[in-house]
Amino acid sequence: MKERKNVYLLPAGDTTLAWYSKAVVEMKKRPTTDPTSWNYQAAMHGFNASLSFWRGAAPLPSQTEQNQYWNQCQHGSWFFLPWHRMYLAYFEQIVAATIVKLGGPADWALPYWNYSDTSNPNARTIPPAFTNPNNATNGLWITGRVSDTIPPRYVTLGALNTIPYTGDGRTSPLGFGGPETGFSHSGGTHGQLESLPHDMVHVAIGGAMGDPRTAALDPIFWLHHANIDRLWQVWLNMAGGRINPNKSSWLDYNFYFHNAAGQSAQFTSKQVEDTRQVLSGYTYQGVPVGGPTLRTANALQNADFSTPLEITAATNQGVTLGSAKTVAHLGLNASPQKAVNLAATTNSAVSKPALTILHFENVTGKGVPPIYDVYLNEPQNGGDKESYYAGSVSFFGVEEASTPSVHQSGSGQHYALDISDLVNKLRSSPNWKDQQLDVSIEPSRAVDADASVNIGRISVYSE
């Protein structure tokens, strides 16, 4: 059984990344029509021939083959975690087989990049092997990355505090793994782990990584997703009723891939719940494998996921984001059935703030926008700005989600931020308004000329 190791804890002289680089170079030599080639594997996640990163990829497989195997990544869906686990498993198998053919070790395993490790001052920086040398002689380098280092707020792990696997923050609390869906290649509500840190890391690095249609062309993509896969197991190991879905529509759903021999292969979510049972099996360094398939009533005895949420405030029109700060004013919903004063946000029955979720609905756009930071009731006269920070949104894959296809309607994405603690704190501030919530949205870096974001509605749902 393999152990996927922390890339920053590989010992001196370790050859894991050196062999990975050699395998990438070899896989890039294979034609795009070869399922074990670098291009084919990346296209399974996403592909668009018009994007510059795909220049020179032709000839391509038949359209029938592309329809079955390419553009299959699951986002905004409860399949986000199992699909990417399957994807990594077969990719790792292909790379390992390539390494053996090149004369390398038979036990090669994909490492993971733990960018959230606060004990490592270098954790948020892409490992040096991926940036030095910064030219085509390095199989792990790719042109176009915007940044090699990710700001701290974009790698926090608040998602691990989310107990239910599924949820949308409107009809139920937010979910760790995403909302219950069918096949969902793009669009929809992003689960908490997908929103942060997954999406943030993609967009913060930028370049190929900033767009789902090119992301897997960057070799760091695979270490990033190994870490996301690891965090799924970390979450399952925590107490409090954290369990995977038990519906057959999740457990038995099939996805198709190719193995190291280039033959068609498939997995269901149920088959990949336990990493020790995935292909030849693997574990993560420092992360024991518990019982992810254990689903009992007792596991949920202390968890209440049935909290009814009601809309309490919303914008009256769409919001367009640009290169400067945008402020949206959310007025209280006047409906007698739904009108809940935003000041009444403390649930007296429990010793915690009432659940309050900020939503960005029907988000459409073009290009690769930057991450946007969100603040609530930010004072106009300066002061400690971070005291009003509500979270960030990345809009990873917004252009694809805005384009109608066989996979989605083109209605865009949906992001949600849990603002319960912040709203509860702001209620005592002098600039609190019972009938209005001011939402400030600021780009974290310069906005590309070809990038745009339009939010259909910003709303608040509360207990």
Per the structure, the complete domain to which residue 132 belongs is given by: 2-300
Tokens matching residue 330: 């959310």
- Does residue 322 share a domain with residue 175? no
Question: What's the one-letter identity of residue 158?
Answer: G
Q: Count other Cβ atoms within 10 Å, centred on residue 337.
A: 7
Torsion sign across C-alpha atoms 272, 274, 280, 282: positive
- Does residue 121 share a domain with residue 52? yes
Confidence at residue 92, expressed as pLDDT on a 0 to 100 scale: 98
50 inside domain: yes
- Does residue 411 share a domain with residue 277? no
- Residue 361 sits in a domain of what CATH number? 2.60.120
418 inside domain: yes
Question: What's the one-letter identity of residue 198?
Answer: H
Confidence at residue 383, expressed as pLDDT on a 0 to 100 scale: 74
- From the number of C-beta atoms within 10 Å of its C-beta (0-12, 13-18, 19+), residue 449 rates as exposed
Q: What is the SS3 assignment for 74? A: coil
Give the chain's domain count. 2
CA distance 158 to 232: 13
Confidence at residue 65, expressed as pLDDT on a 0 to 100 scale: 98
305 inside domain: no
139: phi then psi, degrees, rounded to nearest 5: -65, -20
CA distance 432 to 377: 7
Tokens matching residue 204: 């913060």
Confidence at residue 306, expressed as pLDDT on a 0 to 100 scale: 60
CA distance 166 to 172: 9
Domain boundary among 251, 280, 300: 300
- Does residue 276 share a domain with residue 365? no
- Does residue 261 share a domain with residue 116? yes
Confidence at residue 187, expressed as pLDDT on a 0 to 100 scale: 72
264 inside domain: yes
Q: What is the SS3 assignment for 57? A: coil
- Does residue 40 share a domain with residue 146? yes
- Residue 3 CA from chain centroid, whole number: 23
- Does residue 221 share a domain with residue 316? no
Domain boundary among 236, 271, 300: 300
- Does residue 244 share a domain with residue 341? no
Calculate ∠ Cα 220-366-145, nearest 5°. 25
Q: Of 339, 341, 349, 245, give the one whose Cα is nearest residue 307.
A: 349
- Does residue 392 share a domain with residue 275? no
CA distance 461 to 313: 7
Q: What is the pLDDT along the chain (463 residues), one digit of tens a residue?
A: 999 999 999 999 999 999 999 999 999 999 999 999 999 999 999 999 999 999 999 999 999 999 999 999 999 999 999 999 999 999 999 999 999 999 999 999 999 999 999 999 999 999 999 999 999 899 999 999 999 999 999 999 999 999 999 998 888 889 999 999 988 877 778 999 999 999 999 999 999 999 999 999 999 999 999 999 999 999 999 978 899 999 999 999 999 999 999 999 999 999 999 999 999 999 999 999 865 444 443 444 344 556 678 999 999 899 999 999 999 999 865 444 444 445 554 444 445 788 999 999 999 999 999 999 999 999 887 778 999 999 999 999 999 999 887 666 678 999 999 999 999 999 888 778 878 899 999 999 999 999 999 999 999 999 8
Give buried/exposed letters for 245-258 (b at 16+ CB in 10 A, else e).
Answer: beeeebbebebebb
CA distance 400 to 160: 28
- Does residue 292 share a domain with residue 352? no
- Residue 155 sits in a domain of what CATH number? 1.10.1280.10
CA distance 83 to 272: 9
- From the number of C-beta atoms within 10 Å of its C-beta (0-12, 13-18, 19+), residue 268 rates as middle
Give buried/exposed letters for 163-182 (b at 16+ CB in 10 A, else e).
Answer: bbbbbbbbebbbbbbbbbbe
- Does residue 266 share a domain with residue 359? no
120 inside domain: yes
Q: Across-strand partners of 149? A: 125
Domain boundary among 268, 300, 332: 300
pTM of the model: 0.94
Confidence at residue 429, expressed as pLDDT on a 0 to 100 scale: 83
- Does residue 317 share a domain with residue 266? no
